[in-house]
Amino acid sequence: MVPSARKLSSFCPAQLLTQLRDLPRPAHYLVAYSGGVDSHVLLHALATCRGQYMISLQAIHVQHGLHPEAGKWAAHCQAVCQALDIPLQIVSVQLQRPAGASLEAVAREARYAACQQHALPGTMLLTAHHADDQAETVLLQLLRGAGIAGLAAMPICRTTPSGWHARPCLHWSRQALQQYAQQHALTWIEDPSNQNTDFDRNYIRQQVMPLLQARWPAANRTLARSASHVAAILPLVQAQARRDLADSCDLTGHLRVSVLRELPEVRCQQVLRAWIHQTDHPVPNQAQLSEIVDQVIYAAPDSQPQIAWQNSELRRYRDVLWLLHRPLPPLPDKPLVWPVQMQTLTLPVGCGVLRRIPAEQGLPAQYWQQGRVSVRWRRQGIRCRPAGRQGHRSFKKLCQDYGVPPWQRSYVPLLYLDDQLIAVADICLCMEPITGDTCHQLQWLRDNG
């Protein structure tokens, strides 16, 4: 949902209630309560008007443990919630900060993850972001060279695994919320880290926005308005990206480079964003998407380029893009016996799963009944004569013939009967298939792409 660019006014519970009624109706509200002035105002206003909007209301306070006063802050939040008769969950999190990652971003993601973990189904998480926060976000995204999704800044409401995340205060300024707090004699926590201009957002808030507002007093409102214009266009762009994605994917869900190259660069980037977004991989930033287009999509046909970000990697093999986790798992080195009672065999990490499926033609079931079937992996000198074809082929040539990417070849499960190679995963049999009622075909479910 897109926040409108309506004129900001004084904050009051009745207007907040109007905002909430414009949003989906949840089963529960969960307020992210830091103890600061903004979240205290939101919590107090909701407590004031909850009788007019009968709905479950709770709060959650997430402790990062980054400040020695964190325990006192939690106690303050508990006292405020008791006075307002609002149940409070206090959740402690341990931050895992990858090399080069922003502490701001890591803490924010940890807060949201904790809130989602403790949200009941049908919950709307409420955060107290306001118009000044939105203006700061727009500037941050501009300075990062963000694409259209980033420039749309913070939506007033979005869906989450448990329900929704809404920001009902986006129409009001920081000053409006602070005036409400003073009028109602609220007490709140002042986090000293908010004064640390080493953090980008604090620098913009304390050094940049005052200069802009001295020249353009309505800068926060006009920046938010620009974000709303971009956000209004975003659904159209995303719809086009979904159509392009459907046209670009092959039967296995990989992207075809030849189709992507027919698209304008902007649409190509949107397809990449949509494709990666539907996986468990983080979506690259705008600069990384541009790099993928330049160095992977438009690379020479016989090259095998790759781009890495965070714990993910995009590789190209022939006309197909592959999305992988980094680093690749260690290579298996020991044979694995396939017992007769197991229809499905879980292989070492990175190698996936092998299944045997009853079929009219394939490998005889008696191979397993005799207990002589094992799974091994690539080694020097492996050769196979594919069923129905003349002459033997090296393992490398087989992989080339069947389009197995180079990085995947060492993880391909090889099926042996005693010391005889009888199948290369579900790629090919290395013997003529048997016809009968007690035969099996193989199915290989891959891990690495």
pLDDT tens readout for residues 12-48: 999 999 999 999 999 999 999 999 999 999 999 999 9
The verdict on 303 and 360 lying in the same domain is no
Residue 7 lies in a domain: no
Looking at the structure of the chain, the number of domains it has is: 3
The verdict on 146 and 17 lying in the same domain is yes
pLDDT digits (tens, 9 = 90+) for 252-298: 889 999 999 999 999 999 999 999 999 988 888 888 999 999 999 99
Q: pLDDT at position 96, please?
A: 73
- Greatest CA separation for the chain: 89
The verdict on 63 and 166 lying in the same domain is yes
Where are the alpha helices (H) located in 263-329, listed in sequence order?
265-277, 286-292
Residue 305 lies in a domain: yes
Q: Which CATH number fits the domain that encloses residue 52?
A: 3.40.50.620
The verdict on 163 and 88 lying in the same domain is yes
pLDDT digits (tens, 9 = 90+) for 205-222: 999 999 999 999 999 889
Q: pLDDT at position 382, please?
A: 86
The verdict on 74 and 170 lying in the same domain is yes
Domain boundary among 290, 325, 360: 325
DSSP string, 210-247: HHHHHH-TTHHHHHHHHHHHHHHHHHHHHHHHHHHHHH
The verdict on 187 and 258 lying in the same domain is no
State the average pLDDT over residues 237-259: 93
> Residue 275's domain spans which residues?
249-325
The SS3 call for residue 117 is helix
The SS3 call for residue 389 is coil
Residue 239 lies in a domain: no
Residue 99 lies in a domain: yes
Residue 4 lies in a domain: no
Q: pLDDT at position 3, please?
A: 43
